[in-house]
């Protein structure tokens, strides 16, 4: 199997995907629009490798070799010889459309175009390309080096070969895959966490129970590693609000209608760990 990967977007997700792929032996080109974003991304990768080395989970020479397999660029043309391209930019359809339109003109005919989207239907993203059969969802989880799951999403026209090659790639970088056979907004995982977070936020908003007690119920009652409201703080209340709104718009299913509390928190900037305040103080 050819081993050339291009990752579009050097944020938390993109740099994480680049990190695990380089460690698994892939040659990776990491692209973002500014040198600052690329420096932030590669600094994060270095720090993560160093942490693995200090814990004895990765040999220093392997970390160095993996870093050597990552090149960075602000030039989208650098994707031209990639076997697989993974897009990991902001969750906005217009932004993704712009990238996929350009990728369609730049990449090899046999390249796989994957999106790391967590909620936008793959069919919508693929529609702006001349090769919808080669577009697929490859939804990794944050933090990518720690989380074992990759959710593969079949768009309306995704071919079996595209799905198989994407699975091969995800498994080669150490992930376990689930397949979403019907391209519904939010797929499997985002629908499940969104429904849980929305209900937890409604229970909290209406004074039924505290955030802490709701999370304890999920941890001790259902064996969840982390409660839904703590998860919202970790992911970002703004990100989850955006995801639930996407799913609600597509499905018109009331269980995904985000409660007013989440909207007000986002308005106020209380978006979780990254702002120091969400459902909890951090």
Residue set of the binding site for CoA = 48, 55, 118
Q: DSSP label at 272?
A: B
> In this structure, are strands 149-154 and 176-180 parallel, antiparallel, or unpaired?
parallel
Tell me how far apart the alpha carbons of residues 105 and 127 are, in angstroms, rounded to a whole number: 14
**Residue 115: partners with Cβ closer than 8 Å, 6 or more residues away:** 86, 87, 96, 100, 122, 125, 135, 136, 137, 138
Binding-site residue ranges: 48, 55, 118
User: Do residues 152 and 138 make contact, with C-beta atoms less than 8 angstroms apart?
Assistant: yes
- CA nearest 182: which of 154, 163, 160, 158? 154
């Amino acid at each position: 199997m050819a081993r050339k990967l291009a990752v579009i977007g050097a944020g938390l997700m993109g740099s994480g995907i680049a990190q695990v792929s380089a460690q698994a032996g892939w040659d990776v080109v990491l692209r973002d629009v500014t040198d600052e974003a690329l420096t932030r991304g590669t600094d994060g990768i270095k720090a993560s490798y160093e942490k693995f080395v200090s814990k004895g989970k990765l040999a220093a020479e392997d970390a160095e070799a993996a870093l050597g397999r990552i090149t960075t660029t602000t030039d989208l043309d650098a994707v031209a010889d990639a076997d697989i391209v993974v897009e990991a930019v902001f969750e906005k359809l217009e932004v993704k459309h712009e990238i996929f339109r350009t990728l369609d003109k730049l990449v090899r005919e046999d390249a796989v175009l994957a999106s790391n989207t967590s909620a936008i239907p793959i069919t919508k993203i693929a529609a702006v390309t001349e090769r919808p059969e080669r577009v697929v969802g490859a939804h990794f989880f944050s933090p990518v080096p720690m989380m074992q799951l990759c959710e593969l999403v079949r768009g309306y026209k995704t071919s079996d070969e595209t799905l198989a090659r994407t699975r091969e790639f995800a498994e080669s970088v150490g992930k376990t895959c689930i397949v979403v056979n019907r391209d519904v907004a939010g797929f499997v995982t985002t629908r499940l966490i969104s429904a849980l977070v929305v209900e937890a936020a409604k229970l909290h908003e209406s004074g039924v129970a505290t955030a802490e007690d709701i999370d304890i119920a999920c941890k001790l009652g259902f064996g969840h590693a982390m409660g839904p409201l703590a998860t919202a703080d970790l992911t970002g209340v703004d990100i989850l609000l955006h995801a639930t709104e996407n799913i609600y718009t597509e499905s018109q299913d009331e269980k995904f209608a985000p409660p007013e509390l989440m909207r007000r928190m986002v308005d106020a900037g209380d978006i979780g760990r990254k702002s120091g305040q969400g459902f909890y103080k951090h």
